[in-house]
Homo-oligomer: A and B are copies of this chain.
Amino acid sequence: MSKQGKTAISPTREENYPEWYQQVVRAAELAENSDVRGCMVIKPWGYALWENIRTALDRFFKDTGHVNAYFPLFIPKSYLEKEAEHVEGFAKECAVVTHHRLEAGPNGGLVPAGELEEPLVVRPTSETIIGAAYAKWVQSYRDLPILINQWANVVRWEMRTRLFLRTTEFLWQEGHTVHETSEEAWDETVKMLQVYKQFAEEYMAMPVLTGEKTAGERFPGAVNTFCIEAMMQDCKALQAGTSHFLGQNFAKSSGISFQSRAGREELAWTTSWGVSTRLIGGMVMTHGDDDGMIMPPRLAPSHVVILPIIRKDSDQEKIMRYCNETAEMLRAQMYAGRPLEVAVDSRDVNAGEKGWQWIKKGIPLRIEIGPRDMENNAVYVARRDKGVKEKYGQSRAEFVSTVSSVLEEMQQGLFERACAFRAENTREIDSWDEFVEFFKEGRGGFAMSHWDGTAETEQKINDELSVTIRCIPFDYETTGAGSCIVSGRPSKGRVVFAKSY
């Protein structure tokens, strides 16, 4: 809450959650819309967050034996057509390049010219273009496995877009692997889902459920799709990452075959898995409050901002020296495997306004330094996870020596708060009436309920309540058998129902 008793973000989460989200993304200077339909500009503070996500995930990928490479942006139309379900899934919303030149038109303006023999699609995902390369690279079982990841931009022509959550162009990583056996490909699919879960929980401080998607929610062309699902503060689910077991479908359509150990020509088994800039939206909606963004310290673009409080010109030089010295002491500290990132904000801006800018950006720690703090060898500290007015003085030496443990405490605190929120809003529901009440009158959340396994039931629930099955948890049979909340037919265990992004 600001000094005026108002929140920095208006509307609040309670008043209008979707609008609150847009305002936080804007106020935190994470991103903004461009004039190009559905394409966003990721601003420096948002991009630095993405760079930290990328660095941390890349380390996980490399530690699990993957390497990076880069494949073409354009996919020939004929490639996309090779896999029937795949093209069905992506043809409806793709950017199509048809010409390779602009030239003066009849009315003076420029018009497309140099029509291509075959249209090219801007990659919505790269299974087919990467598959074409793999088909050349794989000859023998000795060439396997191939464990490659790509960091890239992709384009899906979405009709309704929202910053980070659903944009026409977005940034992501896509892993594409090839294996000798079904078992190996299966293990890879599950292993990478676990990597996503670990990253989401340990770095983003965002608890996720893991499980399998129902047939209707699978990636187009996949045999199985696994996902991580998080709960946002409006109790809706966000699919935050997916890992696909592709069986031999894409190996068949791309011609990825190899001579097996037994000397036979066999089709390979492939997987793909990805997360995107959508994760940033997930972090905003998991941790943000009515004063703006709250950055989980492990991924924060900066950990600490130092705000010099200068009341007299004659103090300026001394205070700035003390601030810069403090910054250097902090930069010598390590947190989560990297040196602390520290900003000194000496801009000539009103002190209150300046402080609020950093609150809205979600920096974990703000420290104010005025003449008296300097004289006492002290600093005045504010934590982003506490109330705006809860500031405390501390000796500089103590602040520096404890800063990394304070950050880690904040990181754990954010995770625990998010876990508690999810627990509060997760309910085992066994009757249709209660289910309807939960989603219609209540705030909703995760309903753990029995389902008869049919697409009809799934569709009926979606039609009536706009609620979908987010996943069938890996351990769902351990939750005990029961009967479907719609049909009453037998069910082996509970699945996760929720409204979703």
Decide yes or no: A47 and B72 within 8 Å by CB, A96-B97, A97-B97 being known contacts: no
Complex-state Cα separation, A67 to B103, whole angstroms: 36
| A81 at the binding interface (Cβ < 8 Å) | yes
| A121 at the binding interface (Cβ < 8 Å) | yes
Contact residues, A68-96 vs B (CB, 8 A): 68-77, 79-81, 87, 91-96
Chain B residues lying within 8 Å of A47, measured Cβ to Cβ, are 67-70
B98 touches A93 (CB 8 A): no
| A481 at the binding interface (Cβ < 8 Å) | no
A41 touches B71 (CB 8 A): yes
B94 touches A95 (CB 8 A): no
| A178 at the binding interface (Cβ < 8 Å) | no
Q: Which of B69, B77, B95, B169 contacts A43 (CB 8 A)?
A: B69
| A352 at the binding interface (Cβ < 8 Å) | no
| A190 at the binding interface (Cβ < 8 Å) | no
| A253 at the binding interface (Cβ < 8 Å) | no
User: Nearest chain-B residue to A90 (Cβ)?
Assistant: B102
| A382 at the binding interface (Cβ < 8 Å) | no
A102 touches B121 (CB 8 A): yes
Contact residues, A137-182 vs B (CB, 8 A): 142, 148, 152-153, 155, 157, 169, 171
A109 touches B81 (CB 8 A): yes
A169 touches B72 (CB 8 A): yes
B96 touches A35 (CB 8 A): no
A148 touches B44 (CB 8 A): yes
User: Nearest chain-B residue to A91 (Cβ)?
Assistant: B102
B35 touches A74 (CB 8 A): no
| A99 at the binding interface (Cβ < 8 Å) | yes
| A101 at the binding interface (Cβ < 8 Å) | yes
Closest CB in chain B relative to A176 CB, distance in Å: 12
| A100 at the binding interface (Cβ < 8 Å) | yes
Chain B residues lying within 8 Å of A35, measured Cβ to Cβ, are 76, 79, 132
Chain B residues lying within 8 Å of A48, measured Cβ to Cβ, are 67-68
B77 touches A41 (CB 8 A): no
| A304 at the binding interface (Cβ < 8 Å) | no
Complex-state Cα separation, A77 to B112, whole angstroms: 10
B41 touches A133 (CB 8 A): yes
| A110 at the binding interface (Cβ < 8 Å) | yes
B73 touches A155 (CB 8 A): yes
Complex-state Cα separation, A51 to B266, whole angstroms: 35
Closest CB in chain B relative to A26 CB, distance in Å: 12
Chain B residues lying within 8 Å of A478, measured Cβ to Cβ, are none
User: Nearest chain-B residue to A68 (Cβ)?
Assistant: B47
B36 touches A129 (CB 8 A): yes
Q: Which of B46, B69, B70, B122 contacts A97 (CB 8 A)?
A: B122
Chain B residues lying within 8 Å of A119, measured Cβ to Cβ, are 99, 102, 111-112
B98 touches A112 (CB 8 A): yes
Chain B residues lying within 8 Å of A148, measured Cβ to Cβ, are 44
A98 touches B101 (CB 8 A): no
Q: Which of B72, B76, B95 contacts A41 (CB 8 A)?
A: B72
A96 touches B98 (CB 8 A): yes
| A40 at the binding interface (Cβ < 8 Å) | yes
Decide yes or no: A44 and B72 within 8 Å by CB, A77-B102, A98-B98 being known contacts: no
Complex-state Cα separation, A44 to B103, whole angstroms: 38
| A120 at the binding interface (Cβ < 8 Å) | yes
Complex-state Cα separation, A142 to B77, whole angstroms: 49
Contact residues, A38-60 vs B (CB, 8 A): 39-44, 46-48, 50-51
Complex-state Cα separation, A76 to B51, whole angstroms: 27
Complex-state Cα separation, A72 to B51, whole angstroms: 17
B92 touches A70 (CB 8 A): no
| A34 at the binding interface (Cβ < 8 Å) | yes
Q: Which of B91, B99, B101 contacts A110 (CB 8 A)?
A: B91
B91 touches A101 (CB 8 A): yes
Since A39-B74, A81-B109, A95-B100 are in contact, a sample of 17 more A-B pairs with Cβ atoms closer than 8 Å, ordered by chain A residue number, is A35-B76, A36-B120, A41-B72, A42-B69, A47-B70, A70-B171, A73-B155, A77-B110, A80-B102, A91-B102, A93-B101, A94-B100, A95-B120, A96-B98, A96-B99, A102-B121, A122-B122
Shortest beta-carbon contacts, A-B, top 9: A39-B72, A91-B102, A42-B70, A44-B67, A96-B99, A100-B157, A96-B112, A36-B72, A95-B97
A-B CB contact pairs (8 Å), 13 listed: A36-B74, A41-B69, A41-B70, A44-B69, A47-B69, A73-B169, A77-B109, A80-B102, A81-B109, A91-B101, A92-B103, A97-B97, A153-B153
Write the residues of chain A forming the contact surface with B, with a CB cutoff of 8 angstroms: 32, 34-36, 39-44, 46-48, 50-51, 67-77, 79-81, 87, 91-103, 109-112, 114, 119-122, 129, 132-133, 142, 148, 152-153, 155, 157, 169, 171, 348
